[in-house]
Amino acid sequence: MLSERQQQIIRASIGLIDQFGIQGFTIKNLSKEIGISEPAIYRHFESKVEILSTILDEFKQQVMSYHADFDTAIAGGHEKIGSFFAMIFQVFTENPTLVSVIFAEEIFRNEPALSQKVVEIQNSNEAYLGPLIQSLPLNEAVSSTPVEMISMMFLGPVRLLTRKWKMSQYSFDLREEGKQLIQTIIKSITL
């Protein structure tokens, strides 16, 4: 469990990355943003990498919590897929600055530990979606397509829509557009 100060550091870090990119995310800028000294930040986190790692862990935990809480609550594959992505869109709607961190490969490229965390999140989502996709009555055009490829047919457009939403200054309802996107993908791959 994160302390109140750690949560404050995380929120400020996400805000800095969102506003200034990874280049603007320095401990010096972070200390100014929060109003505490740089050494005070290091009492809570060893490094920027640990801060970023914590952000990814928190996001992963939200996703894993969803898997555990809603897995048995919803019956069909269509509904579970729709509900899963509705949760993702809701998380981003409530925390729009998080998009800058979750979908920013340049942050993770030179840090193997962070890259691994992103891969774990992707693998977790694919592992959750796989059985749901297999439960769908797939049409002939995709019935022999590997499940991993069909998962990407969901995850890629979701990423693109979310980035478009951010780049447009949040000018549309991500939850509504996301719902339409997921329904369209499901219709295009099922009987």
Q: What is the pLDDT of residues 92-142, one digit of tens each?
A: 999 999 898 888 777 777 888 888 888 888 898 899 899 999 999 999 999
Domain 1-45 fold is Arc Repressor Mutant, subunit A (1.10.10)
Q: What one-character DSSP code corresponds to residue 172? A: S
Helix axes 174-189, 77-94, angle to 10 degrees: 150
pLDDT tens-place string over residues 145-171: 999 999 999 999 999 999 999 999 999
Phi, psi of 36 (to 5 degrees): -130, 165
pTM score > 0.85 for this model? yes
C-alpha closest to that of 157 among 128, 181, 138, 135: 181
Domain 49-189 fold is Tetracycline Repressor; domain 2 (1.10.357)
> Domain map of the chain by residue range?
1-45, 49-189
